[in-house]
Structure 1
């Protein structure tokens, strides 16, 4: 998950009024699950849509957060999130069932606050919690490490030079085998590096690691 905050707070603590959201997902079961998670986080006014066409008329009335599936039946959820951002929505969270590095880059370039790979129920719950934390109070802000600054923000442990190189190749979409060939390592050694990177960054999927690394300036 790519949202990194100094002082995450609950949604209820953030707003005296009840936070509002729009959930745009094609599958009604997943859509209902996301809505339930948002309710558990303190959001009390959630509208739902199943497509870009259904959601687009509501963009003109900003809410606190838009949670959108990356691949919708009639278009791109990332395009929709860009439109909500342009219309004044403060937060956007992209959800995808695929570990798509290209989509991560496109999402972050478009100003999306978080990207969640929904491969497991835990991933979904954790990602929504982190995305909701992006609606924290005025003291919270996104971290980005200035070039040359020591350490990494957000409490992440320092990556070694080799781990950063592995992560950079992951961001290019290379497989473990291809990374091993590029770096003169076995695929098993690459896998071990990725396990250590995952522990340090607090996320296990490749897209999540890349999202954190791009947000914090570990890679560019």
Structure 2
């Protein structure tokens, strides 16, 4: 299993992405060691290695930067969606799921649960009958949302390239309040969150939809019917 990283010049106004601290969840110690070594090669300063979802919850709450979470977990696990929701609540806004031989159903399930992206590698044929991959592939939500159930509250909003991106119920709430003209401070008060958390949510929405412009994010959500 290899870890794919997209390189290139960031868009104007985008913040520089630095891997200070990474949460790595995988049941196989050998695979954890391999991915950790690769993360360090990419500049990660600290990698928190855990073997299961319970340990991941504890590690996610530990103090420190929250730059990236890498999950070698089965999206079909009943606890998978709740883990991603908890990671989002703790400020882990970049979450990549790694799975061997993932088919369309597994990939879309992971994206609908809130993953930022999915990496697949050669492996056994997936349960939904899709053919296994012939090499590592990177998925970032570009598939049409046809397979797998949609978690409650999730809505699709096409990004600037027209590719559907899943927005959580919380993200829709924030965009709705932004569309109503509320600044971050008022949105935070309305939702019982901190202004910094609202700023982080908007940053994540911007990364999903491909724009750092608040008005453009609102317009994209309005066009898709995710907000009114």
| TM-score, scaled relative to structure 2 | 0.47
Report which structure shows greater RCO (CA 8 Å, sep ≥6): 1
Q: Tell me which protein shows more helix as a share of its residues.
A: 1
